[in-house]
Amino acid sequence: MTQEVVTYEQFTGDPFASYRPDNEVEGALTVLKWAYETYGDSIVYACSFGAEGIVLIDLISKVKPDAKVVFLDTGIHFQETYELIDKVKARYPQLNIEMRKPDLTLDEQAEEYGSALWNKNPNQCCYIRKIKPLEDTLSGATAWVSGLRREQSASRKNTNFVNKDERFQSVKVCPLIYWTWDFVWQYIRLNDLDYNVLHDQGYPSIGCMPCTSPDEGDGRSGRWKGFNKTECGLHTTGNQD
């Protein structure tokens, strides 16, 4: 595989478009090795610390033990999520894990937009507390890593290993596109990885506390109940879903 640097401005297509790995782990590691060899310190992993996130952290630690990992700390995550992050920091002490906070505190947001903005306009809340902080994080990065999988939702079914990210004008690397939900958990259990205990309580996808509910499905089910919304906006081309 060529080491030509793929940038947003010069993006001509996924260099792995014809790559079909023999197994999921081999595929993810191959893409991650390429990404970190190509981008070095100018690639960031934006991690939500969900099941896919735990897998990617373990894989990334094998490729670049001191990789930069950013968690968008909205201030309204579950306590279980923060406890998991502490466990991950202890297990992978070399990783550079940054807790990125929004410009507005929750009190400042309530003063400007009203209380519980997530109940009235979740798109605006996501923009303030997640999208804008990631924009700031990626302003000095050429590429970023994401745990998107094709089977998660209809909006993600065409995700490639390497993508031109119009939302952040960056390159988005997605090593897990062929992983199934079952295989994610097989990897977690096989490697005895810590994970968010809320997964054991019926939460397939875990985000901010007010906008996440237990659900019998998988993928994005359980997010933003009552709204026509399945994405926070990080993986779409605009602020609205």
Extract the annotated binding site for [4Fe-4S] cluster. Answer: 125-126, 208, 211
Number of residues in the chain: 241
Look up residue 30 and give its two tokens: 């191959």
Q: Give the CA angle between residues 19, 24, 27 to the nearest 5°.
A: 40
Look up residue 153 and give its two tokens: 């939702």
Phi, psi angles (nearest 5°) of residue 208: -70, 150
Q: In whole angstroms, what is the distance from residue 193 CA to residue 190 CA?
A: 8
98: three-class secondary structure by DSSP: strand
In 10 A of CB 93, how many CB atoms? 10
Q: In whole angstroms, what is the distance from residue 115 CA to residue 108 CA?
A: 10
Look up residue 140 and give its two tokens: 């000095």
Q: Count CA atoms closer than 13 A to 109's CA, side-chain side.
A: 22
Q: In whole angstroms, what is the distance from residue 32 CA to residue 139 CA?
A: 21
Q: Catalytic residue positions?
A: 232
Residue with tokens 């590691």: 29
67: nearest Cα among 33, 101, 90: 33
